[in-house]
Amino acid sequence: MLILPKTTSSIMSEKKIDILYVDDEENNLVSFKATFRLKYNVIIASSADAAMKILETKPVEIIITDQRMPNMTGIEFLEKVIEKYPDPVRILLTGYADMNAVIDAVNKGKIFHYLSKPWNEQELDETIKKAFEVYKANKEIKEMNDKLALSNDQLEFLLRQKLLS
């Protein structure tokens, strides 16, 4: 039997996705964690401030937040997140059908998806999977751009050396 070494992509697929779920309602935090803890690495926060403190020490791939919270709305929280942590894919949940909130979420919070509460487990799970695919694609693009920038710098250096000689 031939055993091949693990590639980066196979290692990545074995790793549990890190999700930060932010909601001021304790029942929702407990329910979300109970539902998804076996599939994903779920980190919960009961406020936007607590979530920001978590992000300082723990990088995540996906952030899911409730819209209506005291002190700071989900959109305001996501706006703050983008400034410091632009990489995680953002999902907004709300129990209220407020079209202005949806528009603000897309424009200001740069969300990937908007879901209504109470959430449907299958729909939310599919949204998380799609969000992670977007996260991986964005990460690959960023890595390729970094390699391309390095190659360009090296070519410029070689060109300068050639012109000077």
3 confidence band (pLDDT: 50, 70, 90): low
Residue 2 class from Cβ within 10 Å (0-12 exposed, 13-18 middle, 19+ buried)? exposed
**Side chain identity at 79, as an amino acid letter?**
E
Is pLDDT above 90 for 30? yes
Lowest mean pLDDT among 8-22, 50-64, 83-97: 8-22
Domain encompassing residue 118: 12-135
Residue 66 lies in a domain: yes
Residue 145 lies in a domain: no
Residue 143 lies in a domain: no
pLDDT at 114: 85
Residue 6 lies in a domain: no
Residue 94 lies in a domain: yes
Q: What CATH number has the domain bearing residue 44? A: 3.40.50.2300
41 phi-psi bin (left φ>0, alpha ψ -120 to 50, beta other): beta
Instruction: Note whether 96 and 67 are within 8 A (CB).
Output: yes
- Total of domains in the chain: 1
Residue 58 lies in a domain: yes
Q: State mean pLDDT over 32-47.
A: 96
Residue 114 lies in a domain: yes
Taking the whole predicted model, whether its pTM rises above 0.95 is answered as no
Residue 107 lies in a domain: yes
Instruction: Note whether 116 and 93 are within 8 A (CB).
Output: yes
How many Å apart are CA 91 and CA 64, to the nearest integer? 5
pLDDT at 65: 95
Which pLDDT tens digit goes with each residue over 96-111?
766 666 676 666 667 8
